[in-house]
Amino acid sequence: MKIRELVREDIRDLVPYEPHLFSNVVKLDANENPYPFPTEVVQDIFARLNGEVFTRYPDPAGLDLKVKIAEVNSTGPDNVVLGNGSDELIQLILQTFGGPGKRVIIPVPTFSMYNIHGRITGTVPVEVPRDEKFNLNLDELLTEMRHPDTRITYLATPNNPSGNCVPADEIRKLLTEVESLVVADEAYIDFGGETCLPLLEDYPNLIILRSFSKVAIAGLRVGYLIARPEVTRELLKVKQPYNVNTFSQMTALAVLNNWPVFREQIEKIVSERERLKMELGSIPGIRVYPSQANFILFKVPVPAGELHRQLVEEGVLVRWGLGRTHGLPECLRVTVGTRQENDLFLEKIRKILIP
């Protein structure tokens, strides 16, 4: 018996997500927050830990956290769905509204999970290329979005890996012209760009996707979406009841309750991003793409894979392999770290590129 032949034919060729394991490197590859999680917030969480956090099932509605999320976004708890990272919500939306014979529209290059979850859920991923500045090709995109089998369009804003935003008026235009769902993935919205949240008032087909990973707790896997109750109601039919564990719910709530601490970190990351853009852009041969996120995409004058390998040898890990995954073989992506980490990265890349 060949197990492989028992696997669904449409997903047989998928490859497992590869962990990028390097030791003794400064990690500037995964768009995480470089600062340590504040000890006063850890103490606050630990003070509220009790045996039940471990023995009892989590609150399937995640009500305390949803109420707080609703409060900070001036909406209602019925508008919020919690996910085990926003990755899970990307899949949940496809499970609920996509499926065999349905299409999901993806302007590329962008976050790879839209395509992968499309395939996993049997939805047909339709990729529409962005222009050379990574802006949307609105006409081409609308043609695909208007196809009767289209159910969902994923728009990351700021976009990963390019860092640029989709202007809110473009999203408004798309929402006006189609009768399918538009997901504005705002995973990086805390670092820049304009939220699409106000558009929810006019458009029932909009879903706003958010993540706690980039600002605070990538390790605890918490994301959420905001949509009209007629959308969240359908998603809750499909959502796993206990998808977000109690500890993660508590910690995400503590993050929002201590937001000023994280806002300070965000401000430092944003000002470091601007410095990094300037310094990186002043290295001969490097082209820096505009970014509103906590990372910078840049084009290099030498083979990118080789430069990545040399940087690892010097103790700095950036995101590479963008040729295979995103059609950007000449590019690398660096996450904005602490001032010292960014200085180390700049020192090493100068050492390699400037003879």
Pairing of strands 316-318, 26-28: parallel
Binding segment for ligand PLP among 43-51, 83-91, 251-259, 342-350 (CB under 6 A)? 83-91
Residue 314 C-beta: closest distance to ligand PLP, Å: 26
Tokens 């509605």 -> residue: 61
Binding segment for ligand PLP among 80-88, 134-142, 270-278, 346-354 (CB under 6 A)? 80-88
Binding to ligand PLP, residues 125-154 (CB under 6 A): none
Distance CA 320, CA 29 (A): 8
By CB under 6 A, residue 317 contacts ligand PLP: no
Residue 240 C-beta: closest distance to ligand PLP, Å: 15
Residue 278 forms beta bridges with which residues? Answer: none
Shorter beta-carbon distance to ligand PLP: residue 77 or 223: 223
By CB under 6 A, residue 111 contacts ligand PLP: yes
Shorter beta-carbon distance to ligand PLP: residue 96 or 335: 335
CB 227 within 8 A of CB 205: no
Residue 136 C-beta: closest distance to ligand PLP, Å: 15
From candidates 185, 190, 272, 341, binder to ligand PLP by CB under 6 A: 185
The closest alpha carbon to 296, from 160, 194, 192, belongs to 160
By CB under 6 A, residue 86 contacts ligand PLP: yes
Distance CA 311, CA 278 (A): 20
Q: Tell me the angle at which helices 168-177 and 138-145 cross, rounded to the nearest 10 degrees.
A: 30
Return the sign of the alpha-carbon dihedral for residues 283, 285, 290, 291.
negative
CB 88 within 8 A of CB 116: no
By CB under 6 A, residue 190 contacts ligand PLP: no
Residue 295 C-beta: closest distance to ligand PLP, Å: 9
By CB under 6 A, residue 335 contacts ligand PLP: no
Binding segment for ligand PLP among 56-64, 82-90, 191-199, 251-259 (CB under 6 A)? 82-90
Give the binding-site size for ligand PLP (rule: CB under 6 A). 13
Shorter beta-carbon distance to ligand PLP: residue 187 or 349: 187
Binding segment for ligand PLP among 84-92, 194-202, 248-256, 267-275 (CB under 6 A)? 84-92
Distance CA 81, CA 239 (A): 9
Q: Two tokens at 279? A: 């310094």
Binding to ligand PLP, residues 25-64 (CB under 6 A): 31
From residue 152, give the alpha-carbon distance in Å to each of 52, 65, 98, 179: 39, 27, 7, 10
From candidates 65, 104, 156, 322, binder to ligand PLP by CB under 6 A: 156
Return the sign of the alpha-carbon dihedral for residues 313, 314, 317, 323.
negative
Cβ neighbours of 327 (radius 10 Å): 12
From candidates 34, 77, 85, 337, binder to ligand PLP by CB under 6 A: 85
By CB under 6 A, residue 160 contacts ligand PLP: yes
Residue 257 C-beta: closest distance to ligand PLP, Å: 20
Shorter beta-carbon distance to ligand PLP: residue 32 or 144: 32
DSSP E strand boundaries for 43-179: 80-83, 103-108, 124-129, 150-156
Identity of the amino acid at 197:
L
By CB under 6 A, residue 311 contacts ligand PLP: no
Binding segment for ligand PLP among 12-20, 85-93, 127-135, 332-340 (CB under 6 A)? 85-93
Binding to ligand PLP, residues 197-226 (CB under 6 A): 211, 213, 218, 223
Q: Which residues contact 207 (CB under 8 A, 6 or more apart)?
A: 93, 181, 182, 183, 184, 225, 226, 227, 231
Q: Which residues would be at the binding site for ligand PLP (CB under 6 A)?
A: 31, 85-87, 111, 156, 160, 185, 187, 211, 213, 218, 223
